[in-house]
Structure 1
Amino acid sequence: MLHIEGSIASLRLKQPFSIAGYRFEQQEVLRVTARDGACHATGEATGVYYLGDTAQSMQRDLAAIDSACWRGIDRLTLQRMLPAGGLRNALDCALWQLEANRRQLPLHVLAKLPRTHALLTTMTVGVASPEDMALAASCYVGARAIKLKLDGSALDGERIRTVRRRCPQVRLLVDANQGWDMAHLESLLPAMLDCRVELIEQPLPVGADDDLRGYRCPIPVAADESFQQLSDLEEMTDKYQLVNIKLDKCGGLTEALQIAREAPRHGLGVMVGSMVGTSIAMAPAFVAGQGAWIVDLDAPLFLIGDAQPAAQYGNGEIDFPVLWKQRWPEATSGSA
């Protein structure tokens, strides 16, 4: 019989990380271990902080589930049993890995995908002074894509220009995390066009992004906070050009793969990102990102320590060369 247990791990960041309206100094995650006889697998979820989905709330919800519910559980049953969010993500990813371990099959084979390959990933720079952001961007040795967090202040334009001067060749993206209004967006367009910005992520607050409906922005705009799960796709079609799939938002790899297939049918490109997390969380996102236009899976680089075996970073890419044989450590409390 399948046995499920969960515990909270505290991840320490190398330094505080700021975005519009929020500052990260450490991150607690829920790790769920699924055991079936000699096989076990671990899934990790951060939750969605701006929706109140936290490690603590996920652990409480997990504890409230009757153990009898795990008898005969599979990924499809799980989709009906729990709503999208962090808890379902941790459970879903654990079930994927458990089946891969049990059947000794690569994860991408179970997902009916071609063999995985290294992915170009953005390297993220948190909100700071223009000079500090340029320095941080230049410290990413080998980076080929940089994403700048911006906060809606008067410094945003200079942040973009200063980073571009320091890093003239990289792909440049910006992420407002709901921190702009339309006036700020339009005021930044000259700087963004001059500096060859390729993507604007979530410029307007959720609920205010109807202003983007029909707006012809010369730079593609991606939905992050406005887009949570598969059922949101239709609403995105005339406001955004891409959707950012995060497993913590949509509830795991199962729905992430569905979104990746369905988004192009709605005329939307695919971006795959993550919350703060270790390589346990990056591995299934890496699978989901195999066909994505943009991948933003650099979260382990912000941590003091990572789960082993860890994602490999080099030449601006993320790779999991032994993804098919992962044996993640059992869920324990404490740091990564």
Structure 2
Amino acid sequence: MTITTNHITLEKITPLRISRGVSGNSVNLIVTIEHEGITGLGELAPNGVSGDKAETGERDIEALRPALAALAPWELERVEGVLSELRSAAVGLDGVGSGGAIKAAIEMACHDWVGKKLGVPVWKLLGLDLSKTVETSVTVGIQSPEDAATQTRDWHTRTGARVLKIKLGSPEGIDADQAMFAAIQAAARPDAIFRVDANGGWSVAEAQTMIPWLAARGVEYVEQPLAQDNEDGLPHLRPAPIPIFVDETIRVASDVPRFAHVVDGVNVKLMKCGGLREALRIVAVAKAHGLKTMLGCMGETSLAITAGAQIGAAFDHLDLDSHLNLKNDPFIGASWTGGKVVPTDAPGLGVAPV
């Protein structure tokens, strides 16, 4: 198969601030594979968890090109083996454990190709039941209480979404977190559902204060309360009045057993784990350990979001909303129906340029 790439520059409607920083735009990498006259599309979204960027992704593809050129897109096991070898050897990668996003981009392009070749959407290819797809959350980042309330009302008006994922872990401390959360809750529609993601922004003591405080206000669960290098503190948060999910802590399926005894769920991202196949492995391992699962996203267009939606029915919770916060989404794909991101019956990923 032949692989080509191009850069796209994206700009957010509202810059997203989390505990680790703020992002208003990004340069993503679109990967196109061609074989037997059929093309497949994939996307790399840059992120600090996997360490991938558009530039490193292109560099990595150059390293992979000879091995991948000898394979067909339907040889997913062999393709994944080549990608895993790159990840293990850290060829052209910046740091241990990086490479998830470029692996995801190539793998989703292969799935797109296979679906188009067979004339079926990827979700049918995988045998999933779309009726199990749940509503997705939309994200309110760290900001002033007044701006957070405004964005909450805008989300409800513009999308009709009722599930809110609220970013906490403010550098200004938990008093600022509480003030912002209270403003969002006051501005939200009566049937709103609240979830919180601290992105590792709390200490153990802060998490011990915030989790019961949020539970008393009806929050459904809290995600990544402690930093990725502070997992030893998780037992000190047990028992918790609401479920605790981890995100940055879990990258691949083999990470799940290490933390299954101290958390209630895991957040999976294609850019973090390396694609659809590894995402479904994480679901299987998590379920075997009695954990709930969530599928999230990075700063992705409708291309990667639609790839995630293809397997969304396998997850208990969804957070596939980054495309809804773009001024210039260059693709159309999954539909937005009743607060759900739902793939179509179009072959492959069902994505096309605008």
Give 3-state SS (helix, strand or coil) of 2:80's partner.
Answer: helix
Contact preservation (8 Å) 1:244, 1:272:
yes
Corresponding letter in the other structure for 1:110: L
Cα distance, 1:202 vs. partner? 0.5
**Residue among 232, 235, 240 paired with 1:217:** 240
Amino-acid identity (%): 29
**Residue among 176, 183, 186 paired with 1:162:** 183
Give 3-state SS (helix, strand or coil) of 1:4's partner.
Answer: strand
User: How does 1:161-200 map onto structure 2 within 5 Å?
Assistant: 161-167=182-188, 168-200=190-222
Larger RCO: 1 or 2 (CA < 8 Å, sep 6+): 1
Cα distance, 1:311 vs. partner? 3.0
Contact preservation (8 Å) 1:118, 1:320:
no
C-alpha change, 1:36 and 1:217, in structure 2 (3 Å) is same
Superposed CA RMSD: 1.9
State whether structure 2 residue 6 is matched by structure 1 residue 7. Answer: yes
Cα distance, 1:99 vs. partner? 0.4
Contact preservation (8 Å) 2:121, 2:350:
no
Q: Deviations over 1:167-206 (max 9, x none)?
A: 2421100111111011111222343122100111101011
In structure 2, distance between residues paired with 1:55 and 1:276: 13
Corresponding letter in the other structure for 1:127: I
Corresponding residue for residue 53 of structure 1: 52
Corresponding residue for residue 109 of structure 1: 124
TM-score (norm 2): 0.87
Give unpaired runs (5+ residues) of structure 1: 331-335
In structure 2, distance between residues paired with 1:187 and 1:327: 45
State whether structure 2 residue 340 is matched by structure 1 residue 310. Answer: no
Give 3-state SS (helix, strand or coil) of 2:24's partner.
Answer: strand
Corresponding residue for residue 295 of structure 1: 318
C-alpha change, 1:52 and 1:281, in structure 2 (3 Å) is same
C-alpha change, 1:229 and 1:325, in structure 2 (3 Å) is closer
State whether structure 2 residue 107 is matched by structure 1 residue 92. Answer: yes
Corresponding residue for residue 134 of structure 1: 149
Corresponding residue for residue 163 of structure 2: 145
Give 3-state SS (helix, strand or coil) of 2:30's partner.
Answer: strand
Cα distance, 1:80 vs. partner? 1.7
The alignment of Structure 1 onto Structure 2 pairs a total of residues equal to 330
Give unpaired runs (5+ residues) of structure 2: 88-98
Contact preservation (8 Å) 2:50, 2:272:
no
Cα distance, 1:119 vs. partner? 3.5
In structure 1, distance between residues paired with 2:286 and 2:349: 29
In structure 1, distance between residues paired with 2:198 and 2:326: 22
In structure 2, distance between residues paired with 1:47 and 1:235: 27
Give 3-state SS (helix, strand or coil) of 1:31's partner.
Answer: strand
**Residue among 313, 334, 344 paired with 1:321:** 344
TM-score (norm 1): 0.92
Q: Deviations over 1:262-304 (max 9, x none)?
A: 2110121110001111111011211222121110001101101
Corresponding letter in the other structure for 2:179: E
In structure 2, distance between residues paired with 1:116 and 1:253: 19
Give 3-state SS (helix, strand or coil) of 1:49's partner.
Answer: coil
In structure 1, distance between residues paired with 2:64 and 2:212: 53
In structure 2, distance between residues paired with 1:156 and 1:258: 35
Give 3-state SS (helix, strand or coil) of 1:178's partner.
Answer: coil
Cα distance, 1:41 vs. partner? 1.1
C-alpha change, 1:45 and 1:157, in structure 2 (3 Å) is same
Contact preservation (8 Å) 2:267, 2:296:
yes
Give 3-state SS (helix, strand or coil) of 1:270's partner.
Answer: strand
State whether structure 2 residue 140 is matched by structure 1 residue 125. Answer: yes
Cα distance, 1:72 vs. partner? 2.4
State whether structure 2 residue 285 is matched by structure 1 residue 270. Answer: no
In structure 1, distance between residues paired with 2:346 and 2:293: 22
State whether structure 2 residue 305 is matched by structure 1 residue 282. Answer: yes
Contact preservation (8 Å) 2:3, 2:65:
no
C-alpha change, 1:211 and 1:67, in structure 2 (3 Å) is same
C-alpha change, 1:62 and 1:51, in structure 2 (3 Å) is same
Give 3-state SS (helix, strand or coil) of 1:206's partner.
Answer: coil
Give 3-state SS (helix, strand or coil) of 1:140's partner.
Answer: helix
Cα distance, 1:230 vs. partner? 1.0
C-alpha change, 1:72 and 1:212, in structure 2 (3 Å) is same
Corresponding residue for residue 333 of structure 1: none
In structure 1, distance between residues paired with 2:3 and 2:270: 20
Moved more, 297-306 or 160-169: 160-169
In structure 2, distance between residues paired with 1:294 and 1:61: 32
